[in-house]
Amino acid sequence: MKCLTKRPRPLSTMKRALIVLSCFVLGVKVSADDKECSGPLPLLENAHTSAGARRSSYTHGDVLHFTCHPGYMAAGRTSYSCLNGTWVRSRRGKCVLKPCELPSDIPNGRYEIVNGTDFVFGTIIKYTCNDGYQMMSRADSRICQVSGWSHSLPVCEEITCEFLKPHTGVRVKSPPYDHAPIRTGHVVEFECSPGTGTVLRGSSKVTCTSTGQWSDSFPVCEEVTCELEEIDKSVAVRRRPAHGATVKYGDALRFQCVHEWMEMQGESEVTCESSGQWSRSFPKCRETPCRLPDIHSSVLVSGLPEGNAAMRYGHKLRFRCAHQALALKGQAEVTCLSGDKWSNVFPTCYVPPPFCEPPSVRFGDINVPPKRLYSHREWVQFQCQEFYKISSNTWMQCWDGTWYYTVTCREPCIVTPEKMDERKIKLVYGERKNLYVKHDERVTFSCKHGTSLKPLGSKLQQKCTNGVMHLPECY
């Protein structure tokens, strides 16, 4: 041990006294050439020596203390001593990161570490909001600092969408309830008012998204129009819009063939639908010849074209029976119409049934001179004699030798002056003479002067029923 003869600069008074005393007891002579600790000062991770403890030179026995950097704290004490020109670590403490308290949770949100592995100085945590909520604070991150966590706790508020006013003509099918906030996931449906001839352009459903925005723009109702297609020259439009006019929803076009001998292929009417499309394709007209159906061998046909020539519109065929004993059933002449159609069903020949003798109706006559015999299916019409009223049916038909249907002539009622005198009544209207009253007609009577209607339910107005009239009686 070398004792110093000069004043030891870095030692305290007590420490210096101890060294001098030790040298005196041991008889060691204090030397002035003790070794100094030169060169760079020792380093300690995450620590530094304070400026006030630094000197230009250090001699044997000097002690160097360390202070942890900001954000770090001492885990035990750490120091170096100068011994015989060498720095020796005398205390084995270290500087570790300073911890922060456990971060607080926030309502409707959560946090995660984005930089670091523990809640210590320099660690960064980031807060995020749950679905349906949004960050309202300017800062969503916090850093563990010397004084604790930076910034205040962020705030998550529920995400809502602002309900916009629908466009004119748009009706909301499922609006928000009352004035409650429109939350994420809420769906609003739209439609156009019925009967307005408009169609919805855009999405019929929009949803409030997690960003607080609607999933799509609100739709609009536009007037539905249909574009007029090219019309075949063979087709005439019976209801054509004015030149340049817009065909709107619900408008209908009606078509017909230019020539009557043409057949329309397609529908004769198309309508502008709500989709802006026509209900059907526009029709066309084509000529369709008539085909010859099967004809029984008992029927003879004239007017057939030579070879296999087509029978076009207006072509006529005539028919007769092959034997005089047969009768023709149907039209003796048929004409080719449009669309492979004939004006009538082709006739047939058959053996006619028995004839009918002239019919008779009481108080009725045939309205034309009667025939000696009437053929099968022949009709006759009757008329009643004067003052007789015919029933609703006036015709009878011969069928297989028998007359069918009934004709009835209803009898009139005859009111004489003598009958009225017997009952002391007179006519309200008309002269005093024989009165002929037709079936179902009414006559009004009155009691003669000085008489009254008998109170037996008799009425002064009476109706003729097939020749019978109950006259009232006065007394």
Fold agreement between 109-158 and 160-223: yes
Domain ranges for the chain, please list them: 35-97, 109-158, 160-223, 225-287, 299-350, 364-410, 413-463
- Answer yes or no: are the C-beta atoms of 442 and 429 closer than 8 Å: no
Looking at residue 34, its pLDDT comes to 65
Tell me the CATH architecture of domain 299-350.
Ribbon (2.10)
**How far apart are alpha carbons 190 and 205 in whole angstroms?**
6
pLDDT in tens, the chain (475 residues): 344 433 444 444 344 434 433 433 333 333 434 688 887 888 888 998 877 778 888 899 888 888 889 999 888 888 889 999 899 988 888 899 999 999 999 999 999 999 988 899 999 999 999 988 889 899 999 999 999 999 999 999 988 888 888 888 888 887 776 677 888 888 999 998 877 778 888 998 999 888 889 999 999 988 888 888 888 888 998 777 766 678 888 888 999 988 878 888 889 899 988 778 899 999 998 888 889 999 999 999 999 998 888 898 889 999 999 998 788 999 999 999 877 889 999 999 988 888 899 999 999 999 999 999 998 889 999 999 999 999 889 999 998 889 999 999 999 999 999 999 999 999 998 888 899 999 999 999 999 999 999 877 678 999 999 999 999 999 8
CATH number of the structural domain 225-287: 2.10.70.10
Looking at residue 396, its pLDDT comes to 95
Task: Choose which CATH entry (2.10.70.10, 2.60.40.10, 3.30.450.40, 2.40.30.30) describes domain 160-223.
Answer: 2.10.70.10
**How far apart are alpha carbons 47 and 33 in whole angstroms?**
32
C-alpha distance from residue 294 to each of 298, 309, 346 (Å): 12, 17, 9
- Burial class from Cβ neighbours inside 10 Å (0-12, 13-18, 19+) for residue 456 reads exposed
DSSP 3-state assignment of 132?
A: coil
Q: How many CB atoms lie within 10 A of CB 163?
A: 17
- Answer yes or no: are the C-beta atoms of 26 and 1 closer than 8 Å: yes
Looking at residue 32, its pLDDT comes to 38
Superfamily of domain 109-158: Complement Module, domain 1 (2.10.70.10)
Looking at residue 460, its pLDDT comes to 92
β-pair partners for 384: 364
Looking at residue 6, its pLDDT comes to 38
Looking at residue 244, its pLDDT comes to 63
Q: How many CB atoms lie within 10 A of CB 332?
A: 12
**How far apart are alpha carbons 172 and 87 in whole angstroms?**
86
- Burial class from Cβ neighbours inside 10 Å (0-12, 13-18, 19+) for residue 17 reads exposed
CATH number of the structural domain 364-410: 2.10.70
C-alpha distance from residue 461 to each of 6, 122, 473 (Å): 169, 122, 11
C-alpha distance from residue 60 to each of 10, 25, 53, 188, 323 (Å): 10, 20, 16, 87, 161
- Answer yes or no: are the C-beta atoms of 216 and 202 closer than 8 Å: yes
Q: The tokens of 397 are what?
A: 């038909």
**How far apart are alpha carbons 214 and 186 in whole angstroms?**
10
Task: Choose which CATH entry (1.10.10.10, 2.30.130.30, 3.60.150.10, 2.10.70.10) describes domain 35-97.
Answer: 2.10.70.10
